[in-house]
Amino acid sequence: MLIKELTELNGVSGNENDVRDYIIKKIENLCDSYRVDSIGNVIAFKRGSGSKFKVMLSAHMDEVGFIVSGHTDKGFIKFKAVGGIDDRILPGKRVVIGKQKISGVIGIKPIHQQEREEREKIIKIKNLYIDIGAESKDEAEKLAPLGEFIAFDSDFVNLGNNCIKAKALDDRVGCAVLIEALKHSYDFDLYVCFTVQEEVGLRGAQVAAYSVMPDIALIIEGTTCADVPNVEKHEYSTILGNGAALTIMDRTCYCDRELVQYLYNVAVQNNIKVQYKQTTTGGNDAGQIQRTGTGVKTASISVPCRYIHSPVSVMCRSDYEAVERLTITALHQISIDKGVLKNSIIL
């Protein structure tokens, strides 16, 4: 399964090499050409059968993680977050460091030695450390040098009949959809962009979009799902099992309302489960792509993922299938009627 293989790769922002190599092997025979640009994006090109229009698909290869920032005299590793991670989830988590995948665990002062006020506070990342079993600072520095990348160590696991648990569902689910989309042919020229460094500022998408200069862009993402206890229903972002999630607005982008409505209509007409994202927090590559050149008609199609930006994200298989079907069906529909593409030029 593509998602299993993709999520088991490590690709902390700025170190997407393994993910990029895997994707290239999967797509090299599915497109007319591909290239890796100066920042590390993979941009695959599939020539259309007769249209002058350009459509961009985007999904980011990177995941949240950490970077080695120091070493203690006793061989413990100090670290900083790469991307947005909740400090509260970190104590006791397993990690792997560098290309050699040195095993480690995130540690903290034992609860038996904490004062009451310490136990009542959220432990900050600056007070945590990683234990790799080193006995000295020199040994730790050799095994995990300053600046080395650190990823969560988490296996892909089936949950129940229709769910999976894995790290990096944000956004390996999008990468999997893009690979599947390349297996089809369209009337327009298609640029499929696997971007880097989304988790630290949407950097790869900015470079890729300026290179492609698309007429419209669809961003395929793993997004927040908060249908859990102690969250009011009206505060749910998305609902697991309710299908592909369409975004109207988030922190970085105001999606094109016409394009969003078009996608919703395609979903309904083809019996694809679809929902709207109900919150405006977060952001994705759309935030940079939308502002490229004189502006790009942009929309996001997302897979709801519980516990996002953690080693135990959970998604529903049927939601992923809905996103894949909606993306490919919409592209085929655009090939037929071209109305959305023509309007993008007029606007």
Q: Which residues are catalytic?
A: 198
- Answer for the pair 141, 119: CB distance below 8 angstroms, yes or no: no
CA 60 to chain centre: 5
The two beta strands, 65-71 and 216-225, are unpaired
Tell which residue, 295, 300, 292, has the closest CA to residue 345.
295
CA distance readout (Å), 9 to 18, 83, 219:
7, 17, 21
Residue 56 backbone dihedrals phi, psi, to 5 degrees: -115, 130
User: Strands, E, within 27-186: which ranges?
Assistant: 33-36, 42-46, 54-60, 65-71, 77-82, 94-97, 102-107, 129-131, 149-152, 157-159, 163-166
Q: Which of 2, 4, 323 is nearest to 166 (CA)?
A: 4
SS3 8: coil
